[in-house]
Structure 1
Amino acid sequence: MIAKLEDMDVYVSSLELAMEVFALTKQFPAPELYSLCSQLNRAARSVSLNIAEGWGRRFYPNETKKAFVYALGSTEETISALKISMDCGYIPSEKYELLLGNYRKIAAQLYRLYKNW
């Protein structure tokens, strides 16, 4: 049973991944600070923020489901930004693959939440 936001595994996982992405972007070159770093960090943070918003609207199922869809969109945006980061040589392919797997897991959890809410 979900009694509070922190009981949602997808929320906890998305927070952890957002912090991992944040630490990763600290190693990007300075010219990317206000472009790719910013975009990647905002997308990664948006996943957990949208889940939290959905939880806050849990008494309105359609609003909650909409927030889960937004979180899913942010998940895909994060994956895309990570791919660009790898292609630019800012992160190794092994790290990208690990993060990709974790974000795909979050996407699957979000989809199940959406379908079952």
Structure 2
Amino acid sequence: MASNFEELNCWKECYNLKIYLKENVLTKLPKTERFELHSQILRAARSSTANIAEGWGRYHYKENINFLRFSRGSVAEILDHSIEAKDCNYINQEILTVIRQQTEKCIQLINGYIRYLKNKNNEK
């Protein structure tokens, strides 16, 4: 078991996604989207890592899993907002492809951690 949430691969990957979004998407959005799409992407990105951290801090398998599910939902929300950004021509297809790959990896790692926690809980 990880000694802190920063050691979790799912947290690390969601953190990398958050940094990528800040550097490659949020900077490309027009000022008119500052309180709309910009805010939604940033909140979802922050939520993806924050929920993993909060779940890790709970020390109870079922609670941790619930927060991981919230994180997984935030990652899916990031992809949806990124598709919207592409549709509005704020980002190009290449950036969307990278985001799609990163979100898939995040979801796979979160799902793997959920499976791990369920197995650990069943061993009790």
TM-score bracket for this pair, using the shorter chain length: over 0.9
Partner of 1:95: 95
Q: Which runs of 5+ in 2 are unaligned?
A: 118-124
C-alpha separation in 2, matches of 1:49 and 1:4: 13
C-alpha separation in 1, matches of 2:46 and 2:13: 11
Q: Which has the larger radius of gyration?
A: 2
CA drift of 1:98 comes to 0.8
* RMSD over equivalenced CA pairs, Å: 1.0
Identity of aligned residues (%): 27
Q: Which runs of 5+ in 1 are unaligned?
A: none
Instruction: Tell me if 1:43 matches 2:29.
Output: no
Deviations 1:44-92 (A, max 9, x none): 11100000011111x2111000000000000100110000001110011
Corresponding residue pairs, total: 116
Write out aligned runs for 1:44-83 (5 A). 44-57=45-58, 59-83=59-83
Deviations 1:1-35 (A, max 9, x none): 42221111111121121122122212211100100
Partner of 2:122: none
How high is the TM-score relative to the length of structure 2? Answer: 0.89
How high is the TM-score relative to the length of structure 1? Answer: 0.94
C-alpha separation in 2, matches of 1:115 and 1:16: 22
C-alpha separation in 2, matches of 1:15 and 1:112: 17
Partner of 2:16: 16
